[in-house]
Each structure stands twice: as C-alpha cells, then as structure tokens.
Amino acid sequence: MWFVFEAEYQIENGRANWNKPVPETMVWHGPFATEAQAENVVRARMWAKIDIYAHKARAVDLTVRD
C-alpha cells in the first residue's frame, strides 16, 4: 500500500533542511495500490508547488509484511 507524503521544510542558513518538515504543511495522500500511481501523484504535487523551494513530495511504501 503506497502513500504520498508532502510538506514544506524549514529554511536554515538559506537552505532547506529536509529533516525538518513544517508541521502545518504536512499532508498524506492515498492509499494507492501501486508505486506507479503514487509516483504520478508525487509528480503532480511537485509541479503544483514548483515555485516553493522548500517543498517536497515523496512516495512511501507502508505495506505490512509478515
């Protein structure tokens, strides 16, 4: 099961700190059946906020395995 995590990140010394998402901007999209579906959403979300430097969306596999 795939999800997409999207957030804007804190700026430190003029650069995005990819380890510090801004809590108010964090969003989960999904679930998606395949990685390909999730990656399509990632691309769409990245293009939707292309003008925001410290924005990132990424696909996350949250499949439970035995």
CB atoms within 10 A of CB 31: 13
Q: Which residue spans within 1-66 are E strands per DSSP?
A: 2-12, 15-21, 27-32, 55-61
**How far is residue 42's CA from residue 5's CA, in Å, rounded to a whole number?**
8
Q: Is 24 left (phi over 0), alpha (psi -120 to 50) or beta?
A: alpha
Residue numbers of the chain with a pLDDT score lower than 70: none
Residue 52 pLDDT: 84
Residue 53 pLDDT: 85
Residue 65 pLDDT: 83
List CB contacts of 54: < 8 A, sequence separation 6 or more.
Answer: 8, 9, 10, 11, 16
